[in-house]
Amino acid sequence: MRRDLIAILAVGTLILVAWQVVVVVGDYPPYLLPSPFDVFDRFSDPRVQATLLSHLGTTLVEVLLGLALGVSLALLTGFVLARSHLAERLLSPYIVAAQATPILALAPLIVLWFGSGLLSKVLICALICYFPMVVATTVGLRSIDPGLVELGRSLRATRRQLLTSIEIPAALPTILGGLKIATTLAVVGAVVAEWAGGSSGLGVLINLARGSLFDIPLMFATLITIAAIGVALYLVVVLLERRLVGARA
Amino acid sequence: MSRPRPRFLAALAVPLALTLTASAAVAQSPAPAELTQLTVGLGYIPSVQFAQFYLAHEAGYYRDAGLEVTFQNQIDPELITLVAQGAVDIGMGDGTSIVPARSQDIPVRYAATIYARFPSVVFAKASSGITGPADLAGRNLGTPGKYGSSWIMLQALLGSAGLTADDLTITLYPDFGQGVAVLTDQVDAATGFANNEPVQVALQGDEVTVLRVDDIVPLPGPGLIVGDATLETKRDALRAFVGATLRAMAEITADPQLGIDATFARVPELAADPATQRAILDATIEGWSNEHTDTFGLGAIDADAWAQAVTFLTQMPGSPVEGPVAVEDLITTDLLPAAP
């Protein structure tokens, strides 16, 4: 673990050095490619910190609520599809079609129908993380060793006991794999939703930094903050996976 | 000696006449190799609002000035960066964007006024009872977002009546549907462009009230912007471009049909609704002139007005200006023709 951390930090340092070298060698002005120092200056400005925190709070709420909604519906859908081949044959084309439709095209429509408040953001986040969770849940439940289920039945386990003691634990590694993808996509969904219509959030801050303030270092700082949210949520799922699944992960 | 045959002389005259005509034509317009290439950035979509550029292009004014002009359509933030780095030689940029851009050391400046009257306005149906900024208190106002020239204009308007954005309800229309929202009474008023949304609402038969910011603070409207580096390397070509464009603006002001014809030649799709396009063009022409340009000519830049605008932008709540900026760093009059 400690060695991994050192390696990760080392790679990160190399990336920063390479970035700085590109800026210096290419002689790029900050409005085209700010240096790591320009971006760090923004992070260390108390006014920017307050601005970032405020917008971060908005985006985080959208991501978490959207994730909760999308994952809940996806688990339910995945369960139904795993249990019923008829349901899978009937519903799968529509689920795939929803996934294939670009969220950038759907987001403005959702904002139009549901307003530019929190609801539309949550719906867009939920929509973007729904499909990978459905697939992961369906595959996870279908991949269970039939022998385990048979063993449970032979021990007279109830339907509920089969589900909670055998099927869900067996499917958990795959489901959590889907959750890792869903969390990063939820962050993307929140930013896209804010672009489609919002008055606060990191997506709005990107537009402000780029289009009103012409502050590209601030835009970079915002992008890094967005990436950090994605990484943090991903790590939470990794920790959850280790706790629930352990060495099977 | 025998006399030359008349038929031979006639046969000789024809190619001779053709040669003389061709030589004269070549002498009048520069050979293609001598034309200076200019990439010109216009607004987000082709529109009759850019009629002067279309006329100057279609009538050959740019070519006569030794220019080969190519138009690009970009949104304002992208255009400012592209102009600054020289990827676009000259373009239409909002004056209120130049100030924050320059405060971030983006090397771009304003070279000619196109909209002498600030085109961002607040508009409402006359039936709403809104006649001035003070009437906006407690009302519902639609706007695309809390940024950009519309938001700056709104701050100025509200400030003139001792109001802030907290004194009314702001409804966001990121899809720029605030005009329809006024038409369908979803909101009491909205921000828009003087030559767009209010025109569209008026064409539906409603009397429209327009609140302008010009008498409150003289914000600089969209104009021609250039990068510092391009200004040094292509000064003569840029000056010629500005001159040709201002000539087209004068001609369209005198005869708007010239602008309509040039626009429809360039963007045939717009010919589907000529009445609307004419109404938009008339409103656009109205925005090209004010007292300053009436005195000093179309395109003239009012440095005093710019100074007032910089003060306002620097002091407004949530100012987009990072650090002090000097007016002489924001504008250049080098490309303008001599004042009449």
> Looking at residue B234, which CATH number applies to its domain?
3.40.190.10
Alpha-carbon distances, residue B317 vs B69, B147, B267 (angstroms): 41, 12, 41
Please give the average per-residue pLDDT across B223-229, as a whole number: 97
pLDDT of residue B339: 62
The answer to the question of residue A169 being in a domain is no
Chain B within 8 Å of A118 (Cβ-Cβ)? Answer: no
pLDDT of residue B92: 95
- Chain B partners of A199 at a C-beta cutoff of 8 Å? 145-146, 170, 172
The answer to the question of residue A25 being in a domain is no
Give the SS3 label for residue B70. strand
Picking from A116-125, B22-31, B131-140, B323-332, which range would have the lowest pLDDT averaged per residue?
B22-31
Please give the average per-residue pLDDT across B238-261, as a whole number: 97
Q: Do B148 and A29 touch (CB under 8 A)?
A: no
- Among candidate residues B72, B75, B116, B71, the one with its CA nearest the CA of residue B97: B75
Residue A38 parent element (H or E):
helix A36-43
pLDDT of residue B142: 94
- Chain B partners of A210 at a C-beta cutoff of 8 Å? 77
Q: Do A211 and B175 touch (CB under 8 A)?
A: no
Q: Do B105 and A215 touch (CB under 8 A)?
A: no
Sheet of B108-113, strands arranged across: B67-73, B36-42, B90-93, B223-227, B108-113
The answer to the question of residue B191 being in a domain is yes
Tell which of B211, B228, B259 closes a domain: B211
Residue A14 identity: L
| Whole-angstrom distance, CA of residue B301 vs CA of residue B56 | 21
pLDDT of residue B283: 96
What secondary structure does DSSP assign to B151-216, as a single string?
HHHHHHHHHHTT--GGGSEEEE-TTS-HHHHHHTTSSSEEEEETTSHHHHHHHTT--EEEE-STTT
281-320 in chain B: CB under 8 A from chain A: 320
Tell which of B192, B211, B230 closes a domain: B211
For residue B70, what are the β-bridge partners? Answer: B39
Picking from A165-169, B4-8, B211-215, B323-327, which range would have the lowest pLDDT averaged per residue?
B4-8
Q: Is the pLDDT of residue A218 over 60?
A: yes
The answer to the question of residue B14 being in a domain is no
The answer to the question of residue A162 being in a domain is no
pLDDT in tens, B151-204: 999 999 999 999 999 999 998 887 788 888 999 899 999 999 999 999 999 999
Closest approach of chain A CAs to the CA of B216, in angstroms?
22
In this predicted complex, what is the ipTM? Answer: 0.73
* Tally of structural domains, chain B: 2
A158 vs A1, more confident: A158
Task: Say yes or no: B46 and B109 in one domain.
Answer: yes
Cβ count within 10 A of residue A16:
15
Task: Say yes or no: B314 and B278 in one domain.
Answer: yes
pLDDT of residue B32: 54
Written as six digits, the tokens of A65 are 């609520």
Task: Say yes or no: B97 and B234 in one domain.
Answer: yes
pLDDT of residue B23: 47
| Whole-angstrom distance, CA of residue B193 vs CA of residue B45 | 15
The answer to the question of residue A12 being in a domain is no
Please give the average per-residue pLDDT across A130-150, as a whole number: 89
Please give the average per-residue pLDDT across A165-180, as a whole number: 90
pLDDT of residue B157: 96
Task: Say yes or no: B110 and B130 in one domain.
Answer: no
| Residues B231/B238, Cβ–Cβ less than 8 Å | yes
Pair type for strands B189-193 and B120-125: antiparallel
Q: Is the pLDDT of residue B17 over 70?
A: no
The answer to the question of residue A113 being in a domain is yes
Helices A46-83 and A85-100, axial angle in degrees (round to 10) = 150
Residue B25 identity: A
Task: Say yes or no: B128 and B97 in one domain.
Answer: no
* Tally of structural domains, chain A: 1
Written as six digits, the tokens of A80 are 């139904």
| Whole-angstrom distance, CA of residue B320 vs CA of residue B216 | 19
The answer to the question of residue B10 being in a domain is no
pTM of the entire structure? 0.81
Choose the most confident range, by mean pLDDT, from A127-131, A169-173, B278-282.
B278-282
Tell which of B182, B211, B240 closes a domain: B211
Task: Say yes or no: B57 and B79 in one domain.
Answer: yes
Q: Is the pLDDT of residue A98 over 90?
A: no
Residue A220 parent element (H or E):
helix A216-244
Q: Which of B75, B97, B172 sits opposite A199 (nearest CB)?
A: B172
- Chain A partners of B174 at a C-beta cutoff of 8 Å? 108, 111, 116, 195-198
Q: Is the pLDDT of residue B19 over 60?
A: no
The answer to the question of residue A132 being in a domain is yes
pLDDT of residue B248: 98
Integer distance in angstroms from the first to the last C-alpha of chain A? Answer: 16
Task: Say yes or no: B80 and B154 in one domain.
Answer: no
User: Counting beta carbons within 10 angstroms of the beta carbon of residue B320, is it exposed (0 to 12), middle (13 to 18) or buried (19 or more)?
Assistant: buried
| Residues A136/A174, Cβ–Cβ less than 8 Å | yes
The answer to the question of residue A160 being in a domain is no
The residue in chain B having the minimum alpha-carbon distance to the alpha carbon of residue A208 is B147
pLDDT in tens, B24-53: 444 444 455 589 999 999 987 889 999 999
Cβ count within 10 A of residue A38:
17
| Whole-angstrom distance, CA of residue B149 vs CA of residue B162 | 20
The residue in chain A having the minimum alpha-carbon distance to the alpha carbon of residue B76 is A211
For residue A228, what are the β-bridge partners? Answer: none
| Residues B321/B98, Cβ–Cβ less than 8 Å | no
Helices B235-254 and B256-266, axial angle in degrees (round to 10) = 120
pLDDT of residue B25: 47
The answer to the question of residue B15 being in a domain is no
Written as six digits, the tokens of B34 are 């001598």
Please give the average per-residue pLDDT across A72-89, as a whole number: 91
Please give the average per-residue pLDDT across B126-134, as a whole number: 95
Using 50, 70 and 90 to split pLDDT, how confident is the model at B312?
Answer: very high
| Whole-angstrom distance, CA of residue A143 vs CA of residue A130 | 20
Q: Is the pLDDT of residue B2 over 50?
A: no
Picking from A103-107, A182-186, B149-153, which range would have the lowest pLDDT averaged per residue?
A103-107
Which of A55, A212, A216, A220 should be substituted to probe chain B, the one whose Cβ sees the most B Cβ atoms within 10 Å? A212
The answer to the question of residue B335 being in a domain is no
Using 50, 70 and 90 to split pLDDT, how confident is the model at B11?
Answer: low
Task: Say yes or no: B163 and B311 in one domain.
Answer: no
The answer to the question of residue B5 being in a domain is no
Q: Is the pLDDT of residue B10 over 70?
A: no
Mean pLDDT of all residues belonging to chain A: 90
Q: Is the pLDDT of residue B285 over 80?
A: yes
Alpha-carbon distances, residue B240 vs A19, B222, B243, B294, B329 (angstroms): 41, 19, 5, 21, 22
| Residues A173/A219, Cβ–Cβ less than 8 Å | no
Chain A within 8 Å of B145 (Cβ-Cβ)? Answer: yes
- Per-position b or e across B124-133, b if 16+ CB within 10 A of its CB: bbeebebeeb
Q: What is the largest CA-CA distance in chain A?
A: 73
Half-sphere exposure of A136 (CA within 13 A, CB side): 23
Picking from A128-132, B25-29, B104-108, B194-198, which range would have the lowest pLDDT averaged per residue?
B25-29
Domain assignment of residue B145, given as a range = 120-211
B90 vs A212, more confident: B90
Domain assignment of residue A242, given as a range = 56-140+175-248
The answer to the question of residue B274 being in a domain is yes
The answer to the question of residue A191 being in a domain is yes
| Whole-angstrom distance, CA of residue B85 vs CA of residue B147 | 24
